[in-house]
Amino acid sequence: MRAVLSVGANLDDAAGAVEGVLRHFAPEAVAVSPVYDTAPWGVTDQPDFANAVVIIDTPDTPEQLLDRCQALENAAGRVRELRWGPRTLDVDIVQCAAPDGSEIRSATDRLSLPHPHAHERAFVLVPWLAADPDGVLAGVPVATLVDGLPSADVAGVRLQEGGRP
């Protein structure tokens, strides 16, 4: 299965937490974005985030991958107190595709695929576009989705100094 993961953090060593996830998935990675500093989304009265996208090929099912992502969050001390609030680590599964390229869909209490809000979040789409200029979300090119976002949202996603090339 191929999966697109969005990684973000804005507490403690946010960049280090993001880099740790990228290292964790490195053996499975087919593409990795640079790390970006991004304005918070939803709850805006909080520090900026470090965000990146990693695209992996994994033998995991979507549910097994979710377990891995949540284990990484838990190891980083993630506490779920405020929706869209500050966090030590957030690892979201944005999209999964079967080996034949067909999109995997899920609509359970535990996992929604593709991610229901990814199409409106510059902090997901801009790094994804950098990692895979030909990326497609729910049948729409990621480049088209980025072009449709408010320019202020896109401008709020800034390449982190020292971020991956």
Per residue in 75-133, pLDDT (tens digit) is 998 876 667 678 999 999 999 999 999 999 999 999 999 999 999 999 999 999 999 99
Cβ neighbour number for residue 10 with a 10 Å cutoff: 21
Give burial (CB, 10 Å; 0-12/13-18/19+) of 134. exposed
Among residues 37, 87, 121, 153, which one is catalytic?
87
Among residues 78, 109, 147, 164, which one is catalytic?
78
Strands (E), 58-123: 90-97, 103-104, 106-107, 112-113
- What domains sit in the chain, N to C, each tagged with a CATH number? 2-159 (3.30.70.560)
Among residues 13, 45, 83, 90, which one is catalytic?
90
Active site annotation includes 100: no
pTM score > 0.85 for this model?
yes
At which residue do the structure tokens 């805006």 appear? 44
pLDDT averaged over every residue in the chain: 94
Active site annotation includes 110: no
Active site annotation includes 2: no
**Spatial distance between the Cα atoms of 33 and 88, rounded to a whole number of angstroms:** 20
Q: Which residues pair with 49 in a beta bridge?
A: 38
**Spatial distance between the Cα atoms of 45 and 159, rounded to a whole number of angstroms:** 21
pLDDT in tens, 30-64: 999 999 999 887 888 899 999 999 999 999 999 99
Which residues, in sequence order, are CB contacts of 102 under 8 Å at separation 6+?
Answer: none
Among residues 57, 80, 92, 105, which one is catalytic?
92
pLDDT at residue number 165 = 45
Active site annotation includes 105: no
